[in-house]
């Protein structure tokens, strides 16, 4: 192998061609440079001979030649040209064979060449120039070693190291060329095989180790590309092959994480696109197609895929949600909207029965209403703080603010009276209200404007509840006169109702109240202070009565059967639903309804919002 980098013409080996490409100066010779030739028996042993570029000297030239040779030694110019140290010493010995000093200096120069050769071999792993120099020095050593005492074994070891370096170079160069061509060796040949052969010759050889790392990286890239193309069987195969390239160093774990992230991102993107499909009237088919793709590429037990499947299964009835789910929508201006609770789809008997005690004709006839889809209802009544955000964002002037007064409770007289300055910022008595109180002193138009603003901020369908939705939600799957059933005695903590045990700040009590019941409040309570009903809604049918979207109709004949609001454009009489802190027991019934002017504002009436799913 030692001759391989120095064969000329058509016999030039692959290693030299690779080296020449990497070093454009390869092969260039200086004038009077030493030459390496192939001996007559090259075909049998490929031995190399070095022909030193001798200079013709006269004896008178010896002193200057000695000075020139010593200077060349100091400069490290040992053999390449006629004025290098070894050629000069050889030229001196040619005319003065007994010059012991020249002989000793020649030996010193040859040992220095050997040291340079060892350094070149050490650098030859990835430097073509260093390998060429090591081979050139090998020729010098083969020629000069017999003339130096005790140099036979060091020379033999050096020549073997050059031969090994040449073999390693060729294997690594071939492996790197195969790597560039994409011949990684997954079939047992290619770059992987070449680098492994190099490592068999020299374990832990840096260039071959780097080659293995490059093969591993290429296999990982193929795995990641397969993952990007959603071909996860192939991605797994490439990763398995990569895992067998070398001892684990953490790169495979990172690669698996990246492939997993690619898969997760694809699953999430399909899920997100499917969810967008589900928001369109005809999007269910497209969503199911995306679900099929998710199930094809997702890892077993993938939580996102399972969630997407549940959403598709539930979309007919709940859009993107599930019954009982609590969520909030982001507001465009920052923050979140009210907490919303998903009410289950279903059917119920709306209105009062013919023999219901306290019922009016306006609550009849009882009729069945069916909701093909669920809908969301705000968990509590809209608060002063939530309404304040709307006012601050829009500059809207609520009805009581424009008018300058509203109806409040007067503690001295025990009556509801008109009071100047009372508006949505006020309590039931006209005092400043805290942000956690239900907003009151609002008209139905004020409530509508808030719902429209909420819809614009979130891009969702916010609105007031329909009358059918309110009664459906207040009953929460139960039958009976009251939200809790037929008993005329509310259970403990049923809500903020007119209780016989309630006492006003001045000691007043209710004349018409639930006997024996007390909730600790005279006036509205902060929202959410009482336990939720079975569907997770708080203060439903208590605390404050609520505006709904319907116009007033004197009975339910021809009322919608699908739960939609019964609305006539331009109507002024609107519906208020639900009991409050200051309504009689009869008005706390689940079927109770009241007609009110759309501009009415009161200390007893607030509202909550619904959202289409």
Residue 345 lies in a domain: yes
Distance between CA 90 and CA 97 in Å, rounded? 9
- CB burial class (10 A; 0-12, 13-18, 19+) of residue 23? middle
Same domain, 238 and 89: no
Assign 318 a pLDDT band (cuts: 50, 70, 90): confident
Same domain, 163 and 72: yes
Which of 449, 472, 434 is CA-nearest to residue 598?
Answer: 449
Residue 424 lies in a domain: no
Q: Quick one: which H or E segment has residue 356?
A: none
Same domain, 458 and 591: yes
Same domain, 166 and 196: no
Same domain, 37 and 130: yes
Q: What are phi and psi of 493, to 5 degrees?
A: 60, 30
- Which region among 29-38, 92-101, 178-187, 192-201 has the lowest average model confidence (pLDDT)? 29-38
Distance between CA 480 and CA 36 in Å, rounded? 112
Mean pLDDT of 274-300: 91
On the CB side of 286, how many CA atoms lie within 13 Å of its CA? 14
Looking at the predicted structure, is the pLDDT value of residue 39 above 50? no
- CB under 8 Å to 52, separation ≥6 — which residues? 34, 79, 86, 87, 90, 143
Same domain, 141 and 242: no
Same domain, 102 and 232: no
Q: Is 400 helix (H, G, I), strand (E, B) or coil?
A: helix
Mean pLDDT of 337-360: 97
Residue 48 pLDDT: 62
Distance between CA 390 and CA 537 in Å, rounded? 23
Cβ pair 374, 601 in contact under 8 A: no
Same domain, 131 and 276: no
* CA triple 26-32-34, angle to 5 deg: 60
pLDDT in tens, 65-121: 999 999 999 999 999 999 999 999 999 999 999 999 999 999 999 999 999 999 999
Mean pLDDT of 374-395: 98
Residue 574 pLDDT: 98
- CB burial class (10 A; 0-12, 13-18, 19+) of residue 268? middle
Give Cα separations from 180 to 183, 189, 410 (angstroms): 8, 14, 90
Residue 499 lies in a domain: yes
* β-pair partners for 81: 33
pLDDT in tens, 463-491: 999 999 999 999 999 999 999 999 999 99
* CA triple 509-515-519, angle to 5 deg: 65
Same domain, 96 and 114: yes
Strand segments, DSSP code E, in 198-243 are: none
- CB burial class (10 A; 0-12, 13-18, 19+) of residue 373? middle
Strand segments, DSSP code E, in 274-402 are: 326-327, 340-343, 346-350, 367-371, 375-378
CATH number at residue 539: 3.90.1580.10
Residue 393 lies in a domain: no
Q: What are phi and psi of 527, to 5 degrees?
A: -65, 145
Residue 37 pLDDT: 38
Distance between CA 30 and CA 137 in Å, rounded? 16
Residue 528 lies in a domain: yes
Residue 530 lies in a domain: yes
* Domain that includes residue 123, residue range: 9-175
| Mean pLDDT (the chain, rounded) | 90
**Angle of the 232-243 helix axis to the 206-228 helix axis, nearest 10:** 170
pLDDT in tens, 227-274: 999 999 999 999 999 999 998 889 999 999 999 999 999 999 999 999
Q: Which residue has the higher pLDDT, 10 or 367?
A: 367
Residue 525 pLDDT: 98
Residue 111 pLDDT: 96
**Listed residues 175, 190, 211: the one ending a domain:** 175
496: alpha, beta or left? (left if phi > 0; alpha if psi -120 to 50): beta
**Listed residues 160, 175, 190: the one ending a domain:** 175
Same domain, 170 and 189: no
**Listed residues 154, 175, 196: the one ending a domain:** 175
99: alpha, beta or left? (left if phi > 0; alpha if psi -120 to 50): beta
Residue 23 pLDDT: 39
Question: Structure tokens of 544?
Answer: 């404050």
Residue 601 lies in a domain: yes
Express as a percent the part of the chain with pLDDT over 70: 92
Looking at the predicted structure, is the pLDDT value of residue 165 above 80? yes
Residue 125 lies in a domain: yes
Same domain, 464 and 538: yes
- CB under 8 Å to 608, separation ≥6 — which residues? 338, 377, 378, 380, 381, 382, 465, 546
Mean pLDDT of 526-548: 98
- CB burial class (10 A; 0-12, 13-18, 19+) of residue 170? buried
Domain count, the chain: 4
Same domain, 499 and 538: yes
Mean pLDDT of 505-521: 97
């Amino acid at each position: 192998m030692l001759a391989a980098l120095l064969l000329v013409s058509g016999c030039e080996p692959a290693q030299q061609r690779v080296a020449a490409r990497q070093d454009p100066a390869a092969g260039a010779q200086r004038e009077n440079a030493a030459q390496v030739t192939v001996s007559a028996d090259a075909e049998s042993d490929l031995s190399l001979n070095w022909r030193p570029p001798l200079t013709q000297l006269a004896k008178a030239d010896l002193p200057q030649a000695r000075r020139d040779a010593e200077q060349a030694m100091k400069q490290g110019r040992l053999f390449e040209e006629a004025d290098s140290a070894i050629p000069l010493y050889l030229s001196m010995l040619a005319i003065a064979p007994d010059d012991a000093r020249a002989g000793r200096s020649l030996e010193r120069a040859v040992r220095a060449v050997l040291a340079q050769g060892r350094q070149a071999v050490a650098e030859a792993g990835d430097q073509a120039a260093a390998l060429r120099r090591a081979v050139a020095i090998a020729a010098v050593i083969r020629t000069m070693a017999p003339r130096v005492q005790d140099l036979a074994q060091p020379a033999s070891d050096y020549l073997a190291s050059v031969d090994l370096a040449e073999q390693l170079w060729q294997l690594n160069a071939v492996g790197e060329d195969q790597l560039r061509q994409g011949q990684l060796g997954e079939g047992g040949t290619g770059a992987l095989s070449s680098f492994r052969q190099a490592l068999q010759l020299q374990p832990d050889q840096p260039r071959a180790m780097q080659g293995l790392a490059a093969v591993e990286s290429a296999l990982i890239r193929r795995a990641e590309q397969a993952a990007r193309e959603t071909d996860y069987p192939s991605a797994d195969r490439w990763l398995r092959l990569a895992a067998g390239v070398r001892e684990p160093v953490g790169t495979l774990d990172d690669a698996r994480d990246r492939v997993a992230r690619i898969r997760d991102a694809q699953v999430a993107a399909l899920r997100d696109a499917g969810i967008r499909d589900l928001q369109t009237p005809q999007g269910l088919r497209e969503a199911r197609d995306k679900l099929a793709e998710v199930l094809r590429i997702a890892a077993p037990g993938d939580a996102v895929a399972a969630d997407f499947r549940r959403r598709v299964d539930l979309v007919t009835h709940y859009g993107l949600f599930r019954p009982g789910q609590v969520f909030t929508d982001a507001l465009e201006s920052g923050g979140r909207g009210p907490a919303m609770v998903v009410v289950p789809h279903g059917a119920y008997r709306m209105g009062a029965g013919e023999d219901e005690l306290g019922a009016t004709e306006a609550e009849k006839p009882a009729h069945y209403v069916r909701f093909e889809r669920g809908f969301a209802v705000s968990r509590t009544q809209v608060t002063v703080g939530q309404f304040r955000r709307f006012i601050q964002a829009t500059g809207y002037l609520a009805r009581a603010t424009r008018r300058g007064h509203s109806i409040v409770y007067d503690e001295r007289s025990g009556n509801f009276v008109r009071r100047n300055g009372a508006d949505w910022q006020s309590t039931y008595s006209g005092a400043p209200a805290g942000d956690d109180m239900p907003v009151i002193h609002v008209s139905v138009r004020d409530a509508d404007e808030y719902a429209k603003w909420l819809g614009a901020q979130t891009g969702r369908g916010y609105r007031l509840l329909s009358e059918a939705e309110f009664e459906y939600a207040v009953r929460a799957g139960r039958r009976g006169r009251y939200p809790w059933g037929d008993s005329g005695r509310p259970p403990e903590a049923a809500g903020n109702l007119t209780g016989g045990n309630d006492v006003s700040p001045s000691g007043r009590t209710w004349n018409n109240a639930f006997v024996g019941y007390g909730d600790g409040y005279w006036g509205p309570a902060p929202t959410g202070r009482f336990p939720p009903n079975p569907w997770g809604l708080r203060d439903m049918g208590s605390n404050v009565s609520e505006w709904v979207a319907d116009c007033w109709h004197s009975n339910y004949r021809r009322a919608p059967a699908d739960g939609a609001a019964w609305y006539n454009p331009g109507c002024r009489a609107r519906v208020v639903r639900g009991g409050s802190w200051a309504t009689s027991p009869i008005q706390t019934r689940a079927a109770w309804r009241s007609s009110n002017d759309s501009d009415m504002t009161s200390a007893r009436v607030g509202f909550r919002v619904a959202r289409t799913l």
